[in-house]
Amino acid sequence: MHMEEQGSLAVNQLGYRSTDAKIAMITGEGGRFRLVDHASGAVVWQGDTIPAVDDQASGIKVSRGDFSVWSQPGTYRIESGEGHSSYPFVISDAVYEEAHQALLKAFYFFRCGMELEEKYAGPWKHAACHLTPALVYGEEPRRIDAWGGWHDAGDYGKYVVPGAKAVADLLLAYECYPQAFEGALPLPESDGVMPDVLHECRYELEWLLRMQDGESGGAYHKLTTLQFPGPDVMPEADTAELYISPISATATGCLAGVMAMAARVYTPHDAAFAASCLKAAEQAWAWLERHPEYPGFRNPAEVFTGEYGDEQDLDERYWAAAELYRTTGEARYHEAFRGFAGQNAFDKYELGWADMGGYGTISYLLSERENEPQLAARLLAGLQQRADELAAVSREDGFGISLRPEQYIWGSNMLVMNHAMLLLIADRLLGSQTYERCALEHVHYLFGANVVGMSYVTGLGSRPILHPHHRPSEGDGVEAPVPGLVSGGPNYGKQDEYAREHLADKAPAASFADVMESYATNEVTIYWNSPAVFVLSHFV
């Protein structure tokens, strides 16, 4: 049942916490709607929808049925006046625990370079992969043994910049919500002492350390084959030659930022590892200082894997300076941060791999160091303004989220979760709960309260995506996809053949296809999962 069908209803398929706002999205003019006990069929409550709006992003008229007053735990469905019914959902105080665990466990499934054994991977087990040392592209034959880390996405490339974003989101989640990570996943490393989120991040951090050039301190941009393997090739069957692409300023800035952050987070758990992270951060910073101007990364001529190109490296330098200052308290990092903060060439509130500015701002504002009150006040005012803008868009949107029609881009669900993350951090820094409800609407959207009527996370909800663009899910012979993966979601750009052919006339928020072929709408990545982990950490 798609939302586009007249009279259909979309809800958060996981359910709602007892005291949260609860809203069903109903196509068309709306009217009377009822809350029905799913087992007995008894109507327990009824009400009238809020007047319908023409929703630009989804291209339909949508009305909202607010049943927030009902808080009694149970399993329910919503029925409209015409007798259409929603998927069943629960009202409970523990709605998000399983989803939070699954979103975090996904990183284990993304691991490269080790066997995923049945004890931890269940039917999605597979042999170790990508263990041969990689050739450094464009140099005299030289190999680097940079095994490990996470596969980036539906392919098996490993990229420093998006990897750093994913780790930063997870470490921020742990710093802000340590209680959300008390339970074991479990992982092979689970020891009941260090939280599993830190074991998982360490697997990636150790790979990032291998991607740093020991002599210069610069970070190589990525490690991939020359071309993507076929769509159903399992990781261990992807045996083409591995190449390490040249050093980039954006990768080096991200390495400095995430290593400085890790040095702080791991100190209570493993002082030696924390010290190695800090040393790496300082060496990367020294590289950045020696290369104040550096050309943006471009794929070498024969390399056709993800580029993650970015002409602008000031945002990564800003983030690195903030984290190094927060971790060490050294004045030189504060000076550098102030210099970058005075530049208008990058956005100081974005949380995407192409713009890491938001991480610098957040680090500075969360820092307990003596910082400069006027600069902090200016950055906080900017954060509040951005949060207000997101909340304003959400109030106008038919599905209650902060994406404007033109923001349904490749990986739009990353923006959905990044925005929710920013709203929650704004509340935290402002000492308010102004934006929490708005952030929660973004969670409802991810799990089914959207025009497509699907949960955009594998294995979660009544109608989750089943065919993500993810090679292991396609090639492993298991019918169900690897669980806990966030799909990229609607993409008005429709950059793949399937989307161009089948979604040509769809509105932005409806431009989605749950098929492997549609990599522009249905791929998965580590850095779409990571902000979702942060956001759910707030609600568990």
Q: Is 169 a catalytic residue?
A: no
**CA atoms within 13 Å, Cβ hemisphere of 511:** 31
For the stretch 428-446, what's the b/e string if a residue is b when 16 or more beta carbons lie within 10 angstroms of its beta carbon? bbeeeeebbebbbbbbbbb
Q: d(Cα 404, Cα 412) in Å, to the nearest integer?
A: 11
Q: d(Cα 205, Cα 190) in Å, to the nearest integer?
A: 17
Q: Which amino acid is residue 334, in one-letter code?
A: H
CB atoms within 10 A of CB 477: 8
Q: Is 514 a catalytic residue?
A: yes
324: tokens are 């190094």
The answer to whether the CB of 230 falls within 8 A of the CB of 239 is: no
Q: d(Cα 472, Cα 126) in Å, to the nearest integer?
A: 9
* DSSP reduced 3-state for 78: strand
Contacts of 379 (CB under 8 A, 6+ apart): 341, 348, 361, 364, 365
The answer to whether the CB of 126 falls within 8 A of the CB of 234 is: yes
Task: Check 55, 152, 316, 523 and give the catalytic one.
Answer: 523
Q: d(Cα 437, Cα 413) in Å, to the nearest integer?
A: 18
**CA pseudo-torsion sign 513, 514, 516, 521:** positive
Choose among 410, 514, 511: nearest CA to 467. Answer: 514
- Order across the sheet with 74-80: list the strands: 15-16, 89-91, 74-80, 32-37, 43-48
Choose among 272, 278, 100, 107: nearest CA to 189. Answer: 107
DSSP H helical ranges for 177-241: 196-210
Task: Check 4, 372, 514, 517 and give the catalytic one.
Answer: 514
DSSP 76: E
Q: d(Cα 10, Cα 3) in Å, to the nearest integer?
A: 7
- Order across the sheet with 134-136: list the strands: 143-144, 134-136, 243-244, 222-224, 158-159
Q: What angle do CA 207, 231, 148 make, to 5 degrees?
A: 10
Catalytic residue numbers, as ranges: 514, 523
